[in-house]
Amino acid sequence: MIGQQIINGLMLGSVYAMVAVALTLSIGVLNFLNFSIPGLFMIGGMAVWALIRAGAPWPLAVLGALAAAAALSLVVERFTWRWLRGADDFVPLVSSMAFLILFEHLAIVIWGSQMHSLQSLFAGTDWRLGPFVVGLPQLAGLALSIASIFGLSLLLRRTRIGRGLRTIAEDSDTALLLGVDVERLVPFIFVLAGLFAAVAGVLFAINYRQVHPFMGEAVGLKGISAMIVGGMGNVWGSIVGGLLIGVTEALSVSYIGANFVDISVFGLLLLILIVRPTGLLSGMGAARSTL
């Protein structure tokens, strides 16, 4: 049924949207595509699985996974942006990609390379709305995604931190002259992006109950696609792009076949780039005006 697949796609798309927002924060403020984001997504998912498996209550497991992602985000900031920002533009990018590989192989060493299954935490919580079935954890994940992005939008537009971030996005040298504490705000951006990615990983693990060390790669590609589809640097464009890609993927699996999912998703990306190269919401608070 097409309605059920659209619901499923919206739930999956909320995960892609969170990853897209994490990428948007980095590229919108720092003009830097942080390739460690898929690795932090994986850390969020695998850490919550490992902590629950070790006997931790799920709320503590979630907090532990987010804390791990935040700490690792600071490590990435230290060794990509802070130490290498005077290098050529591609050097921090390559360094962040090295962190993605490092995180994946550390996960293999600690937890093994196989697929791991997470126990059902909310069995029997599905809601039936007429002919449709909506999982409560998935609905909560969608609501959390929208609420988090709304909160981020308010932070960027109405707070002193947000004004500082917008100034850095325009010109970091000018921001220094205006008294913006760049040395503190840049780590804040890395931690915030890492938390968005980790929350997405936690939601994915809880909802789909499967984790593995390379789970971030495919989701990372979908997140980049969502960011481009919605409009580079546009926070609300990220959620629009994520939900659109999620629905496209769900409909493709149901009506075309799982083998055609990537063709459908990246075909949609190509079509939008041809029709509207700057993204669907470009010009509506895009890039640096959003941040």
Range of the domain at 94: 2-290
Residue 39 and residue 52: Cα distance in Å, rounded?
20
Q: Phi/psi at 187 (nearest 5 deg)?
A: -60, -35
- Strand ranges, E, within 98-152: 116-117, 127-129, 132-134
Nearest to 40 by CA among 188, 220, 183: 220
3-state secondary structure of 171: coil
Residue 161: what pLDDT? 81
Residue 52 and residue 63: Cα distance in Å, rounded?
11
Band the pLDDT of 287: cuts 50, 70, 90: very low
| Mean pLDDT, the chain, integer | 85
| pLDDT greater at residue 9 or residue 179 | 9
The packing angle between helices 2-30 and 182-208, to 10°, is 160
* Total domain count, the chain: 1
Are 138 and 9 a contacting pair, CB within 8 Å? no
Take residue 160 and report the two structure tokens written for it: 């002193």
Count of residues making up the chain: 291
Render pLDDT for 109-161 as a digit per residue (tens, 0 to 9): 999 999 999 888 776 667 777 777 777 777 888 888 888 888 888 887 888 88
| Domain CATH for 214 | 1.10.3470
Q: On the CB side of 287, how many CA atoms lie within 13 Å of its CA?
A: 13
The share of the chain scoring above pLDDT 90, in percent, equals 46
The mean-pLDDT minimum among 66-70, 142-146, 166-170 falls in 166-170
